[in-house]
A and B are shown apart, each in its own frame.
Chain A
Amino acid sequence: MATVGERVSGLDSLRGTTPAKPHDARAIAALAANPGCARRALMDGAGVDKDAAARHLGFPAPFGQSPFAITRGNAFEALVKADGCAELLRLLRDVLRLPIDEVAYQDVQNVGAHLRHAHTRTLFDRAARGEQGTLYDHPLLSLKIAGHTAFLEPDVVAFQHGGRFHIVEIKSFAVIDGQADPASVSAAARQAAVYVLALRTLLEELGHDPLLVAHDVVLVCPENFANRPMATLVDVRRQLAVLKRQLARMTSIDRLLAELPEGVSFDLLPGEDGAPTRSAEALAEAIQQVSARYAPDCLSTCDLCFFCRDEARRDGASDQLGRQVRDELGGVATVEEALALADGLREPAPGQEEIARLLRDAERLRRECLA
């Protein structure tokens, strides 16, 4: 097995001269989606800017955030933290039963950007040693991802004296009559799990009990149609387990790296102005040396989705229709093959007899009904 150092250098050379794209919590949370995709594992491991790569390949990612949504998110966070976190204290006194005298507030952003991580460590070390401190606004945590350090910035960390640290996640999607959009809630939970893991790692490094960080995170959202914030405790143990497993699996990158042909590189060869100078064809060819595992779900999580979808379509892969269809086809991998079986133009391979019979029956019935 390769050492960490070898692995990092292998991944770095894969990225080449292009600067590494730092992971944020959302990106780390997304690592857990589609874990079977080697292309994605390698590109993420190497810190390749997939968004830039996709754009250069002519398949820009379909993601974007409306300025209205961004403004709204910022305004809501400001509201929750206004007046010495007055709203947040009300909520924490309620959900965590925070006693009245615990109000101390530290704005970690008051120190320069380069000092924030060190300052965060000092503050949390002191808190864990028993010094009074309750709210930590925008601390800067870190987490090692495949040998690279990713810096992470939770909205707030709350510490209860003699109790636990809680990650506070402020989101501007509304909870209406006790219900919120499930997709938004689970995205928030996955993201918060990354912070929990990072904070636990930090405490462990400082020689404290990592379980001082609660697996319950405080999710703060606007209630109903007003701007009034409400808080809910969300248990992220499951997300945490998935994340840990996925990060542990990042080591399997060794194998992926070893299997790569000599000289493959995802380098965009940025010029003076940062614009890629490498030909898009060459980049596409290099990327296609690593197999992808495209599924329609990628369309909402991966920057490279349109590139991989195009590839799946050109290959006539049955994956393009989604996992459900692929499962239904019982492992018949291509459209051509499935249709040939349905039309009786192809002898089923061993093990395909059942699906071939189903497809032939289905074809016969469709013909009969549409005649």
Chain B
Amino acid sequence: MSDDLDALERRIDLLRAQVRTAARAREAALARELRGQLRKAERAWDTLVSAPPQVAARPGEQEGRVAVPVRERVHRALTLLGVPAAGRLVVSVHDAFFAEPLRSSQLTTLRRDEERTFRRSPYARPHYVCAALTDRLTPARGLLAVSTWPQERRVVGPLSPRVDFLVATVQVAACAGRLDDPSPAARRLLARMARNVPDAGSGFGEPDPERVAVAARAELAVHLEADTRQRAELAQRAAAQLDEVACLFGAATLSDVARKGACA
């Protein structure tokens, strides 16, 4: 392996010199070509150098303990929140209240994977991580929800993002309030949320979970009625127009909406 490395290093040096000469001579095309070769050689060098001997066990997977699958971790965080949430919030909540790590990169394909699993054998699992639907019954960008929630909770009207944020704040405050010594991640999360709720206590002192919850509920009271009404209407439309897959994962296009409508 070290022979390969030496050869590669010599080649990299040579290419660098050639790139430089070409750039000086203003031979743009040649320089570009050489730069490409240089990148390839460097990448090959990287692969050789950084190839790990074996795939190391992840922390948490050691000691023979079975790690909780990603979908279950997400489900846990969503259940705690009780409302549709973006991946970012799901990760923060998980960090704040659960031990295993969850990275946002692990969430990128989750919704699609769940949809595939569901299509293969519907309802084979007790719950799925699914989408929240927009007022056009398409999946809302970036929002995750739980399949066992009632449809009204899995749709979002114009007021829902704010309502769901306030509900999530109440939930996070409640969880933090139950702990004697919340983790730093939990304190940070609560502080971040409290900052954006009027009268939840501000400044640099630690927010009081009780006060945060009261403040969030107070604003919630302003929006809740209208939001509930709008969501109920949307849920009815979804039930009337969408098949069961689309009810969970959203209509990909307007024609999906039309199809069920035509069948019904």
Contact = CB atoms under 8 A, between A and B. Distances in A.
Q: Do chains A and B touch in the complex (CB under 8 A)?
A: yes
Interface of A: 55, 58, 60, 78, 82-87, 89-90, 93, 100-101, 103-107, 109-112, 132-133
Report, as a range, how many residues of chain B touch the other chain: 20 to 34
Contacts of B165: 83-84, 86
Interface in B169-205: 193, 195-196, 198
Contacts of A86: 162, 165, 193, 196
Contacts of A106: 158
B141 A110 contact: yes
10 nearest interchain CB pairs?
A: A84-B161, A104-B158, A103-B162, A86-B196, A84-B165, A83-B165, A90-B196, A105-B161, A110-B134, A84-B162
Given A104-B158, A105-B162, 8 more contacts: A55-B28, A84-B164, A86-B162, A86-B193, A101-B222, A103-B159, A104-B159, A133-B158
Contacts, number: 62
B115 interface: no
Contacts of B80: none
B211 interface: no
Interface in B204-234: 219, 222-223
Contacts of A82: 86, 88-89
Given A89-B196, A93-B198, A107 B223 contact: no
Nearest to A137: B141
A29 B46 CA distance: 43
Contacts of A85: 161-162
B138 interface: yes
A110 B162 contact: no
Contact of A107 (B28, B141, B193): B141
B86 A100 contact: no
Contact of A87 (B88, B89, B196, B223): B196
A132 B88 CA distance: 28
Interface string B233-253: 000000000000000000001
Nearest to A78: B88
A83 B223 contact: no
Nearest to A87: B196
B125 interface: no
B168 interface: yes
Contacts of B26: 58
A103 B164 CA distance: 12
Contacts of B134: 107, 110
A354 B55 CA distance: 80
A31 to B, nearest CB: 28
B193 A111 contact: no
B34 interface: no
Given A89-B196, A100-B222, A101-B222, A83 B158 contact: no
A58 B25 CA distance: 12
